[in-house]
Structure 1
Amino acid sequence: MAVPSPRKSNKDDTVPEPASNDETSNTPDDRKGRPTPSRKEREAANRRPLVANNRKAATKAAREKERTERNREYEAMKTGDVANYPYRERGPVKAYIRDYVDARWNIGEYFLLSALFLLIVSIVTTRWVLVALTAMGLVYVFGLLAIGDTIVMWRILKKRLRKKFGDARIDAERGLGLYAASRALQFRRWRMPRPLNAKHGHYPD
């Protein structure tokens, strides 16, 4: 049996030669592809703020700015600086509502203090069931009176607003009733912005 002869190597096969060392690699200067910046351009780049490149520093700066703005608005509401009031407190309609509510004797402004006092009485007098139940009942009665008084106040105030500013403007501004009610239910000394007059009775024109 004939044994197959080994495969002859192909002498024509050529092995690729390595790249010559004479080829020059691109240097950093060749890769730039742009001219060297001038002195003015370098100075302008150095003057750019670094806060924008630092997220933590930018967040901290934004919070500090918001805190400063809130403090400025709070001081404005304490001193009556209308130009620096928060946006929700601005406008002649809101000013008229504040002046009217502050001039009126509202049951709601005494509700929180009275309710707190009656709750303490009901807790202290738990041994005397009748006294405790009476105190709790007075809390509910006082609350209903405050709500009823606030509704009456808003109906009268709404008529005056429509007469002074017109129906279209009052209908366009939403939340006026809630704005008036929330102020009427606050104790007068705790209201912000502060009342312009120290005493009741100074109704706006």
Structure 2
Amino acid sequence: MRAHRVPLGFVFRSRAKEEKATADKAGVTDSKQTRDPQAPKGRPTPKRSEAQTQRRSVANTPTTRKEASKRQRDDRRSAMERQRAALASGDERYLPARDKGPVRKFARDFVDSRFCIAEFFLPLAVVILVLSMVQVGSLQNIALLLWLVVILMIVVDSVGIAIRLKKQLATRYPDLPKKGAVPYALMRTLQMRRLRLPKPQVKRGERP
């Protein structure tokens, strides 16, 4: 039998057609796969949650010095608002450093739970000042005597508060630093109850 010879040109053309068809199929397959336009080439597409987090962080990052300063002002303003709210509610998380801690809280409650003579100093000072301005010798002598009596009573009451507070703190918080707690409490006694900050959290007569 006589063998049929296949032309070489036909073989090469068939291979070229097959390779082209394979490339076309691969191109169609790749086009069907969606890729995040923000994803770098050669890397897998990030998840939606990761992409949202990245976009949010980029959006929240200040791009100019003006935006950064504005962000700092807003942060300071919000911190001050939280601090004012904490001074009214007694929230320990946002109180100023001088008011934080169980020792300072107990010192405040110790003072707020009782009557202190020092808290009436300002009203008494106004009365004594009015009496001293009256051009009557006897009233001026009474005003001077009242000054001495009020000051003496404040000193005696403050010493008693300091001694009792020291004992209570030593018993309740033996392992915590108590430096400055007594002067802190005595300064609070000089303020009228309704003007004290942080606001009193206990009633009069209610022991902390």
TM class by shorter chain equals: 0.5 to 0.7
Secondary structure, counterpart of 2:107 in structure 1: helix
- Whether 1:128 aligns to 2:136 is yes
Aligned to 2:207: 203
Aligned to 1:32: none
The alignment's TM-score, normalised by the length of structure 1, stands at: 0.65
After superposition, the C-alpha distances for 1:139-164 in whole angstroms (9 at most, x for unaligned) are 23212211220111110110111011
Verify the 8 A CA contact 2:129 2:143 in the aligned structure 1.
yes
- Counterpart residue identity of residue 201, structure 1: G
Verify the 8 A CA contact 2:111 2:189 in the aligned structure 1.
yes
Write 1 or 2 for the structure with the bigger share of helix. Answer: 2
Instruction: Give 1:149's match in structure 2, choosing from 149, 157, 163.
Output: 157
Aligned to 2:89: 79
Aligned to 1:181: 186
Cα deviation, residue 121, structure 1: 2.5
- Counterpart residue identity of residue 182, structure 1: M
Quickly say closer, same or farther: Cα 1:66–1:130, change in 2 above 3 A. Answer: farther
Quickly say closer, same or farther: Cα 1:120–1:67, change in 2 above 3 A. Answer: farther
Cα distance in 1 between the residues matched to 2:129 and 2:92: 39
Once the two structures are aligned, what percentage of the paired residues are identical? Answer: 32
Aligned to 2:125: 115
Quickly say closer, same or farther: Cα 1:61–1:112, change in 2 above 3 A. Answer: farther
Cα deviation, residue 185, structure 1: 1.6
Quickly say closer, same or farther: Cα 1:66–1:135, change in 2 above 3 A. Answer: farther
Cα deviation, residue 68, structure 1: 3.2
Aligned to 1:95: 105
Number of equivalent positions: 156
Cα distance in 1 between the residues matched to 2:165 and 2:145: 30
Cα deviation, residue 47, structure 1: 8.5
The alignment's TM-score, normalised by the length of structure 2, stands at: 0.64
After superposition, the C-alpha distances for 1:12-44 in whole angstroms (9 at most, x for unaligned) are xxxxxxxxxxxxxxxxxxxxxxxxxxxx9xxxx
Cα distance in 2 between the residues matched to 1:81 and 1:180: 19
- Counterpart residue identity of residue 203, structure 1: R
Structure 1 residues not aligned, in runs of 5+: 1-39
Cα deviation, residue 66, structure 1: 2.9
Query: What root-mean-square deviation, in Å, do the aligned CA atoms of Structure 1 and Structure 2 show?
Result: 2.9
Verify the 8 A CA contact 2:169 2:178 in the aligned structure 1.
no
Aligned to 2:196: 191
Cα distance in 2 between the residues matched to 1:162 and 1:184: 21
Aligned to 2:147: 139
Cα distance in 2 between the residues matched to 1:98 and 1:78: 13
- Counterpart residue identity of residue 62, structure 2: P
Cα distance in 1 between the residues matched to 2:79 and 2:156: 37
